[in-house]
Amino acid sequence: MCLLTLAPLNADAAEGALGRPISGTLVAPNAGVVPPEPIWITNLGEIWFDGSIGGNHLVPIAGQTSVGLDAKVAITLATVVKVWDTGPGAWNFASGATVSYVWTEVTATLAIQSERQSASNLFDLYFTPIIAGYHISKDENVALSFNIWAPTGSYDSTRIANTSLNTWTFIPQIAYTKLWPDAGLEFDAVSTVQFYTRNNDTNYQNAPLFTLDLMGLKRFDNGWGTGVIVSTVQQLGKDSGPTADKLGGFVGYDWTVGPILTYDTKLGGKMPLSFSLRWVPTIASKNRMSSPSTVMGTVTLVF
């Protein structure tokens, strides 16, 4: 079973303390595997994130600064990946896209007034023109990809709750998978660097972000699997713009650790079908929303 990693949403040291990848949700079983046969991979995912930054911190949002910030985010993601017919060999190639629907509720304190807003709509479009997989060996694989977020969602610079970040984001990514089939063990790693364009409506420029998600997984003969995920997002440099400059660049990071449960079977005895559920709470953060209740569930079908 292969699940190519396509990124969801994130909370980071950025404008509104909300950016692109939610820490701990990028890695997946067989993340570095691009199969040699031409197939379609479909994935439906749901993420719940409930985070906050304490009231003693100033947070940039909507071209202003808030004294603390709270945000709830529910996002539904539908991903399709096409593995191309490139024949046998060390290299195989694929492409993919993700359409997502987001509901968010944001509470901010601007000046002396607390304000709460909500929004729901299609989120920004995420697509991957090329994924290049290399088979180091039967049980060791690596996948290189270039991913793009397009600002297709709804955005209003006067609002604190939006369904778009109003920026293009360009993300080179490397994913790695190592299997020990006799022991039923698997190790997966996904790392990215995210480059944001400037939000021209607020003149805010997010600094690049480095992300790393690691997962160890133990599979059992009955189809179940269990493991642990360790993840971090680290900001590379300072944000810039009038609001960011007042906050010293608003540099941040976070760390998350949590369990994952998986189940693999076959639909109709033929098509691989996988389920997963993870809980990845924040254990340390600075200038990023801390969430004790980040949960993600996925269903993947290969045909």
Q: Is residue 224 part of a domain?
A: yes
Paired with 50 in beta bridges are: 72
Eight-class DSSP state of 17: G
Handedness of CA 85, 94, 259, 125 (dihedral sign): negative
Per-residue pLDDT band for 282 (boundaries 50, 70, 90) equals very high
Q: Is residue 191 part of a domain?
A: yes
* Number of Cα atoms under 13 Å in the Cβ half of residue 282: 22
Taking only the tens place, the pLDDT of each residue in 66-120 is 888 899 999 999 999 999 999 888 999 999 999 999 999 999 888 767 889 999 9
Q: b vs e for 48-67, b when ≥16 Cβ sit within 10 Å of the residue's Cβ?
A: bbbbbbeeebbbbbbbebbb
Q: Which of 212, 285, 213 is nearest to 253 (CA)?
A: 285
Mean pLDDT of 148-159: 94
Residue 44 to residue 22: CA distance in whole angstroms: 16
Domain count, the chain: 1
186 compared with 11, residue with greater pLDDT:
186
Highest mean pLDDT (candidates 58-72, 106-120, 226-240): 226-240
Q: Is 222 left (phi over 0), alpha (psi -120 to 50) or beta?
A: alpha
Residue 45 to residue 275: CA distance in whole angstroms: 10
Q: Is residue 87 part of a domain?
A: yes
Eight-class DSSP state of 294: -
Per-residue pLDDT band for 14 (boundaries 50, 70, 90) equals low
Q: Is residue 1 part of a domain?
A: no
Handedness of CA 106, 107, 110, 114 (dihedral sign): positive
Q: Is residue 2 part of a domain?
A: no
Burial of 190 from C-beta contacts in 10 A (0-12 / 13-18 / 19+): buried
How many other C-beta atoms are found inside a 10 Å radius of the C-beta of residue 181?
A: 10
Q: Is residue 122 part of a domain?
A: yes
Burial of 207 from C-beta contacts in 10 A (0-12 / 13-18 / 19+): buried
Q: Under 8 Å CB-to-CB from 131, ≥6 apart: which residues?
A: 4, 34, 81, 93, 94, 95, 96, 143, 144, 145
Q: Is residue 6 part of a domain?
A: no
For residue 241, the model assigns a pLDDT of 94
Residue 164 to residue 196: CA distance in whole angstroms: 13
* CATH number of the domain to which 242 belongs: 2.40.128.130
Per-residue pLDDT band for 1 (boundaries 50, 70, 90) equals very low
pTM: 0.93
The residue range of the domain holding 103 is 15-302
Q: Is residue 91 part of a domain?
A: yes
Q: Under 8 Å CB-to-CB from 59, ≥6 apart: which residues?
A: 16, 17, 53, 65, 66, 67, 68, 69, 108, 250, 287
Per-residue pLDDT band for 54 (boundaries 50, 70, 90) equals confident
Q: Which of 46, 43, 53, 44 is nearest to 11 (CA)?
A: 53
Tokens for 161? 């709750």
